[in-house]
Each structure stands twice: as C-alpha cells, then as structure tokens.
Amino acid sequence: MRGGYWIWQEDTNDYVLVSFDELDPDILERLRSKPALGGFCYAAEDFLHLPLTSAPFYVANGWLPRQGKSIIFAPDKTGKSFLALQLGRCIAQGEPFLGMETTQGRVLYAQFELGVEILQTRMKSTGQDYEELFVGTTFSMKLDERDGQKQLWTALEAVKPRVLILDPLYKAMSGDENLAQDVEIITDYLDDLIEAFECSVILIHHTGKDKDRGARGSSVMAGWVDSLISMKRVSKKGERLQVQIVPVSLRHAELPPEPITIQLGEDFEFYIWEEDKPLTIKDKILALFDFGGTMTAADIHAAQVGARSPVNRALKELVEEGKLQQPARGLYEKREKGAIGHGQREE
C-alpha cells in the first residue's frame, strides 16, 4: 500500500488518498505536526516521515547524539573539568571539538566541585567567547533527592539547554554509587529531563581505585549511556599535561583504531598534540623571533598567537626561563645562549 494521507475532497464529497510525494511540502509538514497518539505513539508511516534534524549528533563520531547520554571519566588531576568546559563551549559555539564537528546548541554546564572564583578565572584565562553557554556552581545539589531534582529542573526550565553537562557526578549523589538501586534514581531522573527538555546529558565521572577497570561505581551507568569516554594521563610529573582520549564504547559508531593524544595549552584548553610540533603559545611566540629583531608586546598580540591573557603569561614565563629578554619596558627580543639578559646577572 502506498503511503499518504486521506484528505477530504469537497467537490467529490469523499476522502481521497494523496501520496506523500504529491502533497505540498508546507501542507505535509503541518499534517505531520499532529500530536502523537497516547503522547508518544505514531503510525509507522507517520513516524518514518517525522520532520527531524539533518544532524543527529551534537558531537560527531558517535560521541553525543541528540537526546543522548555520555560519560567522560578519568582519574584525578587529568583535566576533566578543563575538557568539559571546552566541550561545552565548542557545542555552544558550533565549533569543532578536538577535530570533531559539533552541532550548535545552548549548553548548561553545572559545576559541583569548583567555586565561583576558580571557575571564573579559568574561563577568563582561555580568552574565548562563551555565547550560548550557561554556567552555575553549587555544592549542595543532590540529584537523588527531591530538592536537588527540583532545583535542576527549575534551572532547565529557565535556560532551556540542548546539552546539559554535570561535573562531577559523585558530588551530585547522596547515595552509594556502587549500588544499582541508588544509581538508577539518578539515571531515571536524567531520563525524565532528557524527555521533558529534549536535551542531551554529559556526565563527568572518576575512575575507581583500579584505573584499568574503567569508571567507578555500578555498571548501570555503562549500560545506560550512548558513549563512554576514557581520559588517561600520559605526561610525567612536571611536564605539560598530556592526555589520551579513548572511547571505550560507542553505541552509534565504530570505535576509532587509535586514541587521540591531546595537550593542555597555555590558554587552558586542549589541543591535538603532534609529536613533532607541540601546539603551545610559547613555541608560537619564540617562532616570531626566529629571524632576530625586537618586538613590542603589541606586535606579538597582533600576530594572533593566542588570547591576550595567556600570551601575557607566556611572555612573562619566557623571560623568567631566560628564553626572551627585555632590553626596555614593553620590548622583547630572543636571548641567545650564554648572553646575560637585561636586569640579570651571572650566577
């Protein structure tokens, strides 16, 4: 039987079956916007022709589908919150995230571990724009308790985000994360949010004591999500933070053959790391002096090697490290090996 709608024809005083292909697109869209039967059911033919978005993922490569769920987990001191904030910013701006395409959508980033001052400082240090990203910090919201659930629901009613990021999960629980029945209180509530607000959810989580066993807590979480993403530190103590990103499971895509290695930049955002060319603001500044000469701070900023605050901090560190020197206030030049910088003395 061909697909279409039975439409009343006044001239024949009868219903006529008009195929989908014959209907005007505007009329077809109005017909398909009729409410679902029982609130969520459609005839199969109507369901197959529902007007849906052409981009079913907020983050490509299977990371985050629309109305999907993702967990990013890692040990302490691995840069989880830096990555979460960057991911939220990229989705809110519709910018690529670590080489992966994103679909623009409003984001709410709820932080349960960092105070207002620390979070604000981190955001300012990136020098990035945060349009369509909403942030909030609270230490008392528990999503397995009625008051906490009501508080977050009210926030979503006000913000209406397409993506919700909760960081970190354990701080939003009063129950035992190792008990399935306690964890299911959280997952059931988040499913209610996803359905009510048509949003996606990203949870930032920790590994257990045995880092090789994945995200800590009940296995309910791993079965609930569409993607499970691991972060593992590969840099040594004292080195600039480098992390490997490894998708452990992707419900809607093939697992990539190799992990992604990323490095935290001077602006507190991660960049894909290339072994032969680490992407740091300091390296970019030093490259400006490859042919000698003197530059002002304004010249360096005009070269667009990074945002203003990270560039100023990098310049200060390069002088302290003896790689640049200041012959006069506001001027910089490369210090040659063995040379004594302005204002320095031989030890």
What is the average pLDDT across 195-215? 86
- Does residue 311 surpass a pLDDT of 70? yes
- Does residue 6 surpass a pLDDT of 80? no
- Taking each continuous run of H as one helix and of E as one strand, the counts in the chain are 10, 16
Average pLDDT along the chain: 85
Q: CA-to-CA distance for 218 and 182, rounded, in angstroms?
A: 9
The confidence score (pLDDT) of residue 277 equals: 53
- Does residue 25 surpass a pLDDT of 80? no
SS3 category, 46: helix
Q: CA-to-CA distance for 20 and 180, rounded, in angstroms?
A: 47
Cα distance between the two ends of the chain: 91
The confidence score (pLDDT) of residue 347 equals: 37
pLDDT band for 319, please (50, 70, 90 cuts): very high
Superfamily of domain 57-265: P-loop containing nucleotide triphosphate hydrolases (3.40.50.300)
pLDDT band for 274, please (50, 70, 90 cuts): confident
The confidence score (pLDDT) of residue 1 equals: 39
Flag the least confident range among 2-11, 40-49, 140-149, 151-160. 2-11
* CATH architecture of the domain covering 281-334: Orthogonal Bundle (1.10)
Q: Kindly list the domain boundaries of the chain, sorted by start residue.
A: 4-48, 57-265, 281-334
What is the average pLDDT across 233-237? 89
Q: CA-to-CA distance for 188 and 165, rounded, in angstroms?
A: 16
**Phi, psi of 300, deg, nearest 5:** -65, -40
The confidence score (pLDDT) of residue 232 equals: 94
SS3 category, 59: strand
- Nearest 5°: CA angle at 71, between 66 and 73? 155
Q: Over the stretch 84-99, which tens digit does the pLDDT of each residue have?
A: 999 999 999 999 999 9
